[in-house]
């Protein structure tokens, strides 16, 4: 999976169900989200991280 591909609802649900069986307090679905969570949230100010997350979460126009 490439970093710019969107995860399907089924993939997100599968990740959530797998996480239910672990002792982790949180789970991040997808490579891009994991990258954002690990790198950007620790290195950028919170306001910039939130702005970037909002931008990435916006629906893309149909091609």
Non-local CB neighbours of 40 within 8 Å, separated by 6+ positions = 49, 52
pTM above 0.85, yes or no: no
Q: How many helices (H) and strands (E) does the chain have?
A: 4, 0
> What sign for the dihedral angle of Cα 33, 35, 38, 44?
negative
Which tens digits make up the pLDDT trace of 7-42? 889 999 999 999 998 988 888 898 888 887 887 777
What mean pLDDT comes out for the span 41-63? Answer: 80
Which of 10, 17, 11 minimizes the C-alpha distance to 31?
11
């Amino acid at each position: 999976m490439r970093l710019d591909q969107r995860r399907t609802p089924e993939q997100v649900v599968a990740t959530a169900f797998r996480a239910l069986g672990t002792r982790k307090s949180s789970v991040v679905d997808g490579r891009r989200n994991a990258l954002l969570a690990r790198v950007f949230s620790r290195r950028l100010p919170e306001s910039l991280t939130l702005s970037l997350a909002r931008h990435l979460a916006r629906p893309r126009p149909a091609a």
